[in-house]
C-alpha cells in the first residue's frame, strides 16, 4: 500500500495548468526526490500532495483516502511540510517553535501534557538542538533553522514529510547534513519523505527514487540509475551532459558539456 499517491493529477493556478495527468506514489521508508527545470511544477506538486492546492482533476490519496475528503486536522497529524521560505518575525525560542508541532494533537488551548514535553524533548535531541533550545529563532543560521523545522515536524509525529528545496541557501556542509538527516529519518523511522531539489548529483546520492518533471508531466520515475541518464537529462534541461559514476558510492554523477572558449 502506498502511503501518499497522486492519481491522474492535474493542477495549476486559475486557468493555467502546471501539471497534467500525473501519477506517482511515495512509499514509507524512502526518499522520493522531485527534479525538473524551473517552472516544471515541483513546488506545485508538493503543494498538491500537502493539501494546500486543490486538484483541477484527479486525486491525492493519503493512506488510500482522498486527502480532500479528510478534515484539515486529520491531514495535519499525518503530513508535515517545510516550505521553501517561512517568515520568522517573532523572536520565539527554538523550543517554543518546536512545540508548535504538537498543536495538531492537543490544539492551541489545551494543556501541554507530559507526553507532549517528552516528544518535543526527543525531537530537540534528535536534531542536536538541546543546547540552543532557548535561542531566538531569529538568530539561527540557515542550517540551524532547517534542523528546527525538521524537529517541529518530528514533534508533529507525521508519517509524511514534504520538503521544498531544503538545501536552498546552505553551504555544502549544511546541505549534506540536512540531506543525510532526512534520508536517515526515512530509513530508520519508516517515514515518507518527498522533497524538491535542483542539484542532480545530490538527488542521485540521497534519493531512493527520483521523479523527473518536464512539460507539465512526469518524464521519468525510478532509481537514480534509471532517471539520471545522459539522454533524459540533456533533453529535459536542454543542455548536453555526460553522466559518470560517483567514485565512492557509484551513483550517477552529472557534468555539463560546454565550449569554454
pLDDT one-digit tens code per residue, 155-183: 888 899 999 988 887 888 888 888 998 89
State how far the Cα of 198 lies from the Cα of 203, in Å rounded to an integer: 8
Q: Give residue 125's Cα distance to chain centre.
A: 21
Place of cell 512509499: 27
Number of structural domains in the chain:
1
- Tell which residue, 2, 208, 9, 169, has the closest CA to residue 85: 169
In percent, the amount of the chain with pLDDT more than 90 equals: 62
Q: What is the pLDDT of residue 26?
A: 95
Could you tell me if residue 126 is inside a domain? yes
Q: What's 229's domain CATH number? A: 3.40.50.300
Q: What is the pLDDT of residue 260?
A: 55
**pLDDT above 60 for 1:** no
132: phi then psi, degrees, rounded to nearest 5: -115, 25
Confidence of residue 104 (pLDDT cuts 50, 70, 90): confident
Specify whether the CB–CB gap between 135 and 92 falls below 8 A.
no
Could you tell me if residue 118 is inside a domain? yes
State how far the Cα of 73 lies from the Cα of 80, in Å rounded to an integer: 12
Provide the domain limits for residue 177. 4-256
Confidence of residue 197 (pLDDT cuts 50, 70, 90): very high
Confidence of residue 154 (pLDDT cuts 50, 70, 90): confident
Could you tell me if residue 247 is inside a domain? yes
State how far the Cα of 208 lies from the Cα of 210, in Å rounded to an integer: 7
Q: DSSP labels for 129-147?
A: -GGGTTSBGGG--HHHHHH
State how far the Cα of 2 lies from the Cα of 24, in Å rounded to an integer: 10
Could you tell me if residue 61 is inside a domain? yes
Q: What is the pLDDT of residue 15?
A: 85
pLDDT: which is higher, 104 or 230: 230
Q: What is the pLDDT of residue 110?
A: 61
**Once rounded to an integer, what is the mean pLDDT over residues 16-42?**
95
Could you tell me if residue 261 is inside a domain? no
Q: Which of 91-105, 171-185, 215-229 is most confident?
A: 215-229
Cα 85 to Cα 132, 164, 165: the distances in Å are: 22, 9, 9
Amino acid at each position: 500500500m502506498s502511503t501518499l499517491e497522486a492519481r491522474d493529477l492535474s493542477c495549476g493556478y486559475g486557468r493555467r495548468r502546471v501539471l497534467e495527468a500525473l501519477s506517482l506514489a511515495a512509499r514509507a521508508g524512502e526518499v522520493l526526490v522531485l527534479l525538473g527545470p524551473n517552472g516544471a511544477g515541483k513546488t506545485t506538486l508538493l503543494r498538491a500532495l500537502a493539501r494546500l492546492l486543490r486538484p483541477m482533476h484527479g486525486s491525492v490519496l493519503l493512506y488510500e483516502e482522498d486527502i480532500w475528503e479528510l478534515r484539515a486536522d486529520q491531514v495535519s497529524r499525518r503530513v508535515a511540510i517545510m516550505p521553501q521560505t517561512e517568515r520568522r518575525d517573532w523572536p520565539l525560542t527554538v523550543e517554543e517553535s518546536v512545540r508548535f508541532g504538537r498543536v495538531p494533537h492537543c490544539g492551541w488551548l489545551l494543556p501541554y501534557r507530559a507526553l507532549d514535553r517528552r516528544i518535543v524533548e526527543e525531537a530537540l535531541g534528535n536534531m542536536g538542538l538541546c543546547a540552543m533550545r532557548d535561542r531566538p529563532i531569529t538568530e539561527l543560521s540557515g542550517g540551524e533553522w532547517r534542523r528546527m523545522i525538521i524537529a517541529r515536524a518530528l514533534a508533529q509525529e507525521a508519517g509524511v514529510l514534504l520538503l521544498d528545496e531544503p538545501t536552498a541557501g546552505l553551504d555544502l556542509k549544511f546541505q549534506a547534513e540536512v540531506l543525510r538527516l532526512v534520508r536517515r529519518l526515512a530509513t530508520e523511522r519508516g517515514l515518507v519523505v518527498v522533497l524538491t531539489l535542483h542539484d542532480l548529483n545530490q538527488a542521485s546520492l540521497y534519493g531512493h527514487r527520483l521523479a523527473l518533471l518536464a512539460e507539465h508531466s512526469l518524464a521519468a520515475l525510478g532509481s537514480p540509475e534509471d532517471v539520471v541518464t545522459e539522454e533524459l537529462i540533456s533533453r529535459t534541461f536542454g543542455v548536453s551532459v555526460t553522466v559518470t559514476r560517483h567514485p565512492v558510492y557509484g551513483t550517477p554523477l552529472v557534468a555539463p558539456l560546454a565550449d569554454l572558449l
